[in-house]
Each structure stands twice: as structure tokens, then as C-alpha cells.
Amino acid sequence: MKIAVLGVGGVGGPIGAALAVAGHDVTLIARGAHLDAIRKDGLRIDGAKDVHAHPVRATDTPASVGPVDAVLLAVKAWAVEEAGALILPMLRDGTAVIALQNGVEAEDRLGRLIGPEHVMGGIAEIAAAIHAPSVIRQVSDYTRIRFGEMDGSDSPRGRALDDAFRATGIESEFTRTIERTIWTKFLMLAAVSGLTSATRGTFGAVRSDPDTRALLCAAVAEVAAVGVAKGVALDDDCVDRTMAWIDTLPAQGRASMATDLDRGNRLELPWLSGAVVRLGGDLGVPTPVHGFICAVLKFHQDGAQP
């Protein structure tokens, strides 16, 4: 398959490298020193995984790639609109664009820019980050992707992508319930991102202290209430199951938004807790915990001031 990966970081990098090594026609879209190093040395994934895609095509000019079978969109949530404009020259009839952003709104935002017929929803599960230009350090021994057509249909392009992912050793699921899958992850993600950022605490600290655990559980319940009000088919025990999932996260780990906060980077706050508050307001669902998270982090959401 001819595949473009837009966003060659902790999600797009390992998936793109695996596809390239497996023999697919992959182009990595990056910029700056990262791009220069990839062109020279290839893309290396080290740590729990050891993959070296070299040589591999890489560019900062998506228009030069030409039409592709699929685009893996792995940029931050705040970059979706910019990325949509970059994707347009790579589209043809049937091109699939898998949105792998945190949150529950990227698919709609992207569809308005490139046409909803191109958009597939997706989530990735991996712990990795850029360690140095052209080098990504992967901590998790797994790379998982779940994706699907937004209307829940089967499709030849979905089956072909599933086969491509599986052949690389990536744990893949082409699901007919991608909306529920995205929201199920969002229950966990919005809560732990907000509270590890607001408290500057680790997963272990936040879930073990009685006061912050109560906030964590309430934050999960708020997301569930918003999802149900929106018509998402969440399981009745989704809050309990999410808390059990949070209890399995690495004790010393923190959400990526907390790391971005430490580094003075722009935050995905408007698409995590911000989205919970915004959607809750539209649907008449109270969201006081996520409102608190937004209030204490709002001055940092655009990154460190120059």
C-alpha cells in the first residue's frame, strides 16, 4: 500500500517505521532537524522495540507525495486544521485518512476540511516519544491501533489496512464500533490527562490518594454522562471499568499533556477537559471537575510565554 504518515512522533513514528520495514510504500512527513536526520540516517525505534527504517522516504512537502491509499494523521489535536490543508493534495477517490488524535472531535473537524468520506476514526495505544532527531524511544512492548469507518460499515480499505498493520506485528483491530471505542478511551484519557497535569502528580499518586482518587472517579463519570447524553453506546459499567484500567497504568507514568506542561509546550486541554465542558454545556450535563481542570490550566494551554 502507498501510505503517508503525517506526524512522525511517538505514535506515527513507530507505526510508520514498521510499515516501511514491511515493504509498504511509506512517506514520512516531518520537518526541521527531525526530517534532516531521517533523510540521512533513516528512522530508528529503540527501547522496547528495535526497528530501523533505512532508507525511508521523508519530506516536509505533502504535495510532492501524490495521491496515496491511506494517510495516518498523528499530529497533536491542536494541529488538525493545519494538517487538513496539507492532506488535500494526497487524496484520491477512496483514500482513507485515519485520525489518531486524542479526544472525540478530530474526525468531525477533519471531515469538514477534506470530506467525511475520507475520514476513519482511530485510537493508538503506545508509550513512545522522540528521543533525538530520527530516534524514537518506545517504552511499551506493544503497539496497538484500533480504527473503523465512522458509519460503522465494513470496507475493503479497512480490511486492507488491518492486514497491513497485522503483518508488521502491530496489534490491529478494524472495528465496526469506532465511536464507542474512541469514547471508551476518552473516559480514561480526559480524566488522567487533566488530573496528572493539574496536580503535577503521577498516575500512582493521583489514584492512590483518597482525595484525588475521588476527583479522578468523578472526572470519569462526567465524561460518561456527557457521552451517554450524546447518544454514545457506552457500557453501563464503563466508569468502574475505566477506574480498573487506570489502576493498571504505570505508577510512575504521567499523561502526555502533563509532560507538555512541564516542557512549556502547547496543551491539548481544549480538546480534552475543554471538550467535556463544552459538550456538557451543550447537552445540559454538569461537569464541575473538568471545569476546575480547565480553570487551573487555562493560563498554560498555549504554552510558555516568550
Q: What is the pLDDT of residues 166-200, one digit of tens each?
A: 999 999 999 999 999 999 999 999 999 999 999 99
User: What pLDDT sits at residue 141?
Assistant: 87
Considering the domain architecture, whether residues 8 and 150 belong to the same structural domain is answered as yes
- pLDDT, residue 185, reads 96
Residues 164 and 203 occupy one common structural domain? no
Domain membership of residue 305 (yes or no) is no
Residues 285 and 201 in one domain: yes
pLDDT along the chain (306 residues), means of 10: 96 97 97 97 94 97 97 96 95 98 96 97 92 94 95 97 96 97 97 97 97 98 98 96 94 90 95 98 98 97 78
Domain boundary among 176, 191, 214: 176
In a domain, 306, yes or no: no
Instruction: Note down the domain range covering 148.
Output: 2-176
Question: What pTM did the predictor assign?
Answer: 0.92
What's the pLDDT score for residue 304?
80
Backbone angles phi, psi at 173, to 5 degrees: -140, 120
Instruction: Give residue 246's identity as a one-letter amino acid code.
Output: I
Q: Of 176, 197, 221, at which residue does a domain stop?
A: 176
pLDDT at 305: 58
